[in-house]
């Protein structure tokens, strides 16, 4: 009996054993294939990074080499600097550096990119590069040279010692490892090298694009948690009910310390409001209750939003965009200055279409907007500005508006709203020069605003 059982089980066990070996071999091969593919991608991204950083250094040098009167070559050079920096940033994002402190290097590249872009789109014949900007370019050229030198050392080590990026990933993920990998050490040096670039050397063109929300731009004193809690309850009024309000601090170690107030609303939904600590300015309010039906039309919803803003002391606001999601109307309002829309000073209001309740408010753009008392007077007439439009553009609405240009400066513009190629656009023509300052497409969902 046992002999018969053995004669049956032995071949089965053998087949299972052989199958397990084959399966294990295939799994091992597939794993190796994935690792090889990942390693190849890392190696390609790294060597591309080295190439583009070298070209970036060369392009900075070439831009410095041309005459200050050669604005066309300067613009072309800065456009190439922007392109190369963007490529370098993309390649850094493909490398396994998430666990490695590399934020200073990324910030350095972001600022070069912002400065180069804003300089390249500027009319250098009217706004030539200043002496400070040229000085900064020289400093960037020197720093880029040092960075390339360090990057070259890492590249030589990778090639000569056959270093693998997969080992970098393992070394960084290890909690107890010494992290003495040559690539890790090299990138730490790179981050230190780029982070050593003086903050004061960045000109306004670069810094303006990096606009950070900071308490330094706000008026008022620092409020306590209890004071902010009272502001939140007053803001909500009857919506607050008798529920307890919980206040938590956020961003203590950032440029914008704030408070988050959480209040239990109807249907056990938590209503949240964010306030700045300095001045107690409301940044954001959200009531995430579900809106199941649509009962109100556009006009009623718009009136509800406008009345809500007026009630909470957001004065002289006019709706400029509209959209709708899940039975909630979303309006963006711009501040009017002497009847002129200031698009940099705006709030967004969410109105529930079942009962007209405002279930959301985003006001950070209003809180941190530059306060403009007088918009100025246009030097170019509407008719003169209109001559610069495409002849096929059919104007439906017109007005004056304040927008921000590429270096975050307010610009008074003639705003033409109309259609071309079956799409609606806003085209902003500078009221000083008559040249196109900006253009944006208006979604079809916003057509009700313009009726």
- Lowest average pLDDT, out of 35-49, 118-132, 154-168, 256-270, goes to 154-168
Which candidate, 233, 359, 356, 223, places its Cα nearest to that of 290? 359
Reply yes or no on whether the pLDDT at 333 is more than 90.
yes
pLDDT band at 407 (very low <50, low <70, confident <90, very high): low
User: How far is it, in rounded angstroms, from Cα 293 to Cα 120?
Assistant: 50
Burial readout 384-413 (b: 16 or more C-beta within 10 A, e: otherwise): ebbebbeeebeeeeeebbbbbbbbbebbbb
Most confident of 67-76, 237-246, 366-375, 391-400: 391-400
Reply yes or no on whether the pLDDT at 207 is more than 50.
no
Answer positive or negative: Cα dihedral of 302, 307, 308, 310.
positive
Residue 443 tokens, joined: 């979604």
Average pLDDT of the residues of the chain: 79
Contacts of 243 (CB under 8 A, 6+ apart): 263, 264, 265
Task: Please report the pLDDT score of residue 385 as a whole number.
Answer: 92
Choose between 213 and 138: higher pLDDT.
138
Choose between 63 and 33: higher pLDDT.
63
Task: Please report the pLDDT score of residue 429 as a whole number.
Answer: 92
pLDDT band at 240 (very low <50, low <70, confident <90, very high): low
Which candidate, 209, 205, 207, 210, places its Cα nearest to that of 119? 205
Reply yes or no on whether the pLDDT at 202 is more than 50.
no
Residue range 127-137, pLDDT digits in tens:
788 888 888 88
The mean pLDDT of 229-255, rounded to a whole number, is: 76
Task: Please report the pLDDT score of residue 21 as a whole number.
Answer: 67
Task: Please report the pLDDT score of residue 362 as a whole number.
Answer: 92
Q: Do 167 and 158 form a contact (C-beta atoms < 8 A)?
A: no
Residue range 28-62, pLDDT digits in tens:
555 556 567 767 777 787 788 888 888 888 888 88
The mean pLDDT of 158-169, rounded to a whole number, is: 68
Task: Please report the pLDDT score of residue 57 as a whole number.
Answer: 87
pLDDT band at 336 (very low <50, low <70, confident <90, very high): very high
Q: Do 402 and 391 form a contact (C-beta atoms < 8 A)?
A: no
Q: Do 417 and 394 form a contact (C-beta atoms < 8 A)?
A: no
The mean pLDDT of 213-225, rounded to a whole number, is: 82
Looking at the DSSP bridge assignments, the partners of residue 250 are: 258
Cβ contacts of 197-205, under 8 Å, gap ≥ 24: 197/108, 197/139, 197/140, 197/143, 201/135, 201/136, 201/139, 202/111, 202/115, 202/136, 203/115, 203/130, 203/132, 203/133, 203/136, 204/407, 205/114, 205/115, 205/118, 205/119, 205/122, 205/133, 205/407
User: How far is it, in rounded angstroms, from Cα 231 to Cα 224?
Assistant: 11
User: How far is it, in rounded angstroms, from Cα 368 to Cα 344?
Assistant: 9
Reply yes or no on whether the pLDDT at 170 is more than 70.
no
Reply yes or no on whether the pLDDT at 238 is more than 50.
yes
pLDDT band at 413 (very low <50, low <70, confident <90, very high): very high
Residue 145 tokens, joined: 């040279």
Contacts of 249 (CB under 8 A, 6+ apart): 225, 257, 258, 259, 260, 277
Task: Please report the pLDDT score of residue 74 as a whole number.
Answer: 84
% the chain with pLDDT above 70 = 75
DSSP-assigned letters across all residues of 346-394: EEEEEEETTT--EEEEE-HHHHTS---S-----SS-HHHHHTTS-TT-E
H helix intervals, 95-200: 103-120, 131-160, 165-173, 182-195
Most confident of 96-100, 243-247, 333-337, 434-438: 333-337
pLDDT band at 26 (very low <50, low <70, confident <90, very high): low
User: How far is it, in rounded angstroms, from Cα 87 to Cα 204?
Assistant: 24
Choose between 187 and 392: higher pLDDT.
392
Task: Please report the pLDDT score of residue 241 as a whole number.
Answer: 52
SS3 content of the chain, % helix, strand, coil (to 5): 50, 20, 30
Fold of 382-444: Nuclear Transport Factor 2; Chain: A, (3.10.450)
Helix (H) or strand (E) holding 56: helix 2-65
Helix (H) or strand (E) holding 204: helix 204-209
**Cα–chain center distance at 406:** 15
User: How far is it, in rounded angstroms, from Cα 7 to Cα 11?
Assistant: 7
């Amino acid at each position: 009996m046992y002999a018969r059982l053995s004669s049956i089980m032995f071949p089965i066990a053998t087949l299972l054993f052989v199958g397990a070996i084959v399966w294990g071999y295939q799994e091992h091969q597939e794993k190796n294939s994935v690792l090889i593919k990942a390693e190849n991608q890392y190696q390609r991204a790294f060597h591309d990074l080295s190439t583009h950083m070298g070209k970036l250094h060369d392009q900075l040098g070439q831009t410095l080499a041309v005459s200050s009167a050669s604005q066309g070559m300067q613009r072309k050079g800065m456009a190439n600097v922007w392109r190369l920096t963007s490529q370098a940033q993309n390649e850094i994002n493909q490398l396994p550096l998430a666990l490695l402190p590399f934020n200073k290097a990324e910030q350095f590249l972001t600022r070069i990119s912002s400065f180069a872009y804003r300089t390249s789109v500027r009319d250098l014949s009217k706004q030539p590069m200043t002496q400070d900007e040229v000085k900064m370019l020289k400093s960037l050229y020197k720093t880029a040279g040092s960075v390339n030198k360090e990057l070259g050392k890492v590249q030589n080590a990778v090639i000569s010692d056959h270093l693998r990026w997969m080992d970098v990933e393992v070394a960084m993920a290890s909690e107890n490892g010494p992290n003495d990998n040559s690539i890790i050490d090299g990138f730490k040096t790179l981050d230190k090298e780029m982070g050593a670039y003086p903050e004061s050397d960045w000109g306004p063109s670069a810094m303006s694009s990096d606009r950070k929300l900071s308490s330094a731009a706000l008026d008022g004193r620092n409020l306590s948690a209890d004071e902010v809690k009272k502001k939140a309850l007053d803001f909500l009024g009857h919506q607050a009910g008798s529920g307890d309000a919980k206040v938590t601090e956020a961003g203590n170690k950032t440029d914008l310390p704030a408070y988050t107030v959480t209040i239990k609303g109807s249907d056990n939904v938590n209503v949240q409001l964010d306030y700045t600590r300095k001045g107690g300015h409301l940044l954001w309010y959200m009531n995430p209750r579900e809106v199941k039906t649509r009962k109100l039309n556009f006009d009623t919803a718009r009136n509800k939003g406008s009345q809500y803003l007026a009630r909470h002391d957001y004065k002289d606001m006019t709706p400029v965009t509209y959209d709708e999601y899940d039975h909630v109307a979303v309006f963006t309002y711009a501040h009017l200055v002497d009847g002129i829309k200031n698009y940099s000073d705006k709030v967004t209001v969410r109105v529930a279409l079942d009962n007209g309740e405002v279930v959301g408010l985003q006001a950070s753009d209003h809180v941190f907007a530059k306060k403009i008392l007088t918009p100025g007077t246009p030097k170019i007439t509407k008719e003169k500005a209109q001559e610069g439009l495409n002849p096929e553009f059919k104007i439906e609405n017109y007005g004056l508006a304040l927008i921000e240009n590429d270096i975050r400066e307010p610009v008074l513009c003639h705003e033409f709203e109309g259609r071309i190629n079956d799409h609606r656009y806003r085209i902003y023509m500078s009221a000083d020069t008559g040249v196109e300052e900006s253009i944006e497409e208006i979604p079809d969902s916003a057509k009700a605003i313009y009726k």
